[in-house]
Structure 1
Amino acid sequence: MNQSETRATGYTTIGADVVHELEIKRSRFITYLRRVESEAAARELVAELRKSHFDARHHCTAFVLGADRDVQRSNDDGEPSGTAGAPMLEALTRRETHDGDSDLSDVVAVVVRYFGGVLLGAGGLVRAYSESVSAGLDRARLVRRQRMRLYDVVADMTIAPRLENDLRTSGHQVLGVDYAPGDDGQVQASVRVALADAADAEDAFSAYLASHTAGAASWRRGATEWVDL
């Protein structure tokens, strides 16, 4: 689904890989969480872990992809049907991220199980795999992603540092600053700013620049992208 077709304007993902281990009745459940943006990337992690944990009995998987969370997959990898992948996926999709929302996406979870010799039963397996992913998520750093329109604010070097500071302190999302010669040969600053992809955001930003720079800064509209806040 391309960006213009995406219904969601924001969602949550994880900021870094997580590895967490639980031992339940002598079985080891090692959970790996990774941020991914495609099924291929999710399956790469599974392939990596099959090699590094070649002696484990199970490598169970669940992942959720896309701003609309329209891609959801799970795999029991030899465990009784519905006792591993499904509870793992539920742990991802029902995870509350902020303000009661459950919008976690672009995450793959793989639980590697080393069998300890004690059968857990169907209910025990469901609890073990669900708890393993939930415990991993407890340790994850969550990142909010938002669909935003990018703008380049061009200003003379005499006002650029103050303008950048004002933009940051006023709550605007400043992504960076580039410096390059202008048409007159003088160095100019281009401040990259991300605004909410909403109809009134551009008008409000234009008015803000006009009032804070007395017309000394101009702006160019760029692409719409997903930005980590």
Structure 2
Amino acid sequence: MSGALSTLARASSHQEEIKKSRFLVQAAAVESPGQALAFLREASDPAATHNCWAYRIGQDYRFNDDGEPGGTAGRPILQAIEGQDMDRVAVVVTRWYGGIKLGAGGLVRAYGGTAAECLRRAERVPIVAMTQLAVHCDFAELALLRARLREWQADIEQEVFGTAGVALQLRLPDNHVAEAQRRISDITRGRSVAKRLD
């Protein structure tokens, strides 16, 4: 994987016939291995000859040849994901056997090629590194703070009201953290420091 990573904007599919075998590729953005496996189960067709798949979520990846010769299906699908600089993606390639054997090289090209073509045609969005910040402010400062959230593309993940004020947990893009920390210090006249939680 070379450049900036992206994921799918929406689920995508692609279909091809190769030597009478039909290949259907389905791809989706996923956030966790559990979500990836749920998508893989849902996208697989039990009536098909093979449902081969791969997913990558950061350093976490898995692939499965589903009965095809070892290394001819799942790994080429994973390589297609990596070759397209994609992450947080799950891909299932379903094959209905058409009676003509493709051979090991033909299978690698068929599975890897159809997966790559599906991802190439798909609409993608860049993956933005996110950070969580913990902030404590007085009740009077909460409205001022909330008014700034959109500028920093920040969301409130947690809000706890106490006797001494409000504890907030914010989630925002990495590239807005320094400005958010500076502005929070200004709004609270230095009484509150936004601390990174990761």
Q: TM-score, normalised by structure 2?
A: 0.70
Contact 1:22 1:132 in 2 (8 A): yes
Partner of 1:59: 51
Letter in 1 for 2:78: L
Deviations 1:90-128 (A, max 9, x none): 1112223xxxxxxx3332211101122333333332222
Contact 1:29 1:113 in 2 (8 A): yes
Matches within 5 A, 1:60-139: 60-65=52-57, 67=58, 69=59, 71-96=60-85, 104-138=86-120, 139=122
Select which of 155, 159, 168 maps to 1:175.
Answer: 155
Q: TM-score, normalised by structure 1?
A: 0.62
Matches within 5 A, 1:1-229: 12-34=6-28, 35-38=30-33, 40-50=34-44, 53-65=45-57, 67=58, 69=59, 71-96=60-85, 104-138=86-120, 139-152=122-135, 154=137, 160=143, 164=146, 166=148, 168-169=150-151, 172-176=152-156, 192=170, 194=172, 196=174, 201=177, 205-211=180-186, 213=187, 215=189, 218=192, 221=195, 223-224=197-198
Contact 2:128 2:173 in 1 (8 A): no
Contact 1:11 1:146 in 2 (8 A): no
In structure 2, the CA distance between the partners of 1:131 and 1:146, relative to structure 1 (3 Å rule), is same
Secondary structure in 2 matching 1:123: helix
Contact 1:176 1:192 in 2 (8 A): yes
**Partners in 2 of 1:177 and 1:55 — Cα distance?**
43
Letter in 2 for 1:21: Q
**Partners in 2 of 1:92 and 1:18 — Cα distance?**
13
Structure 1 unaligned runs (5+)?
1-9, 97-103, 225-229
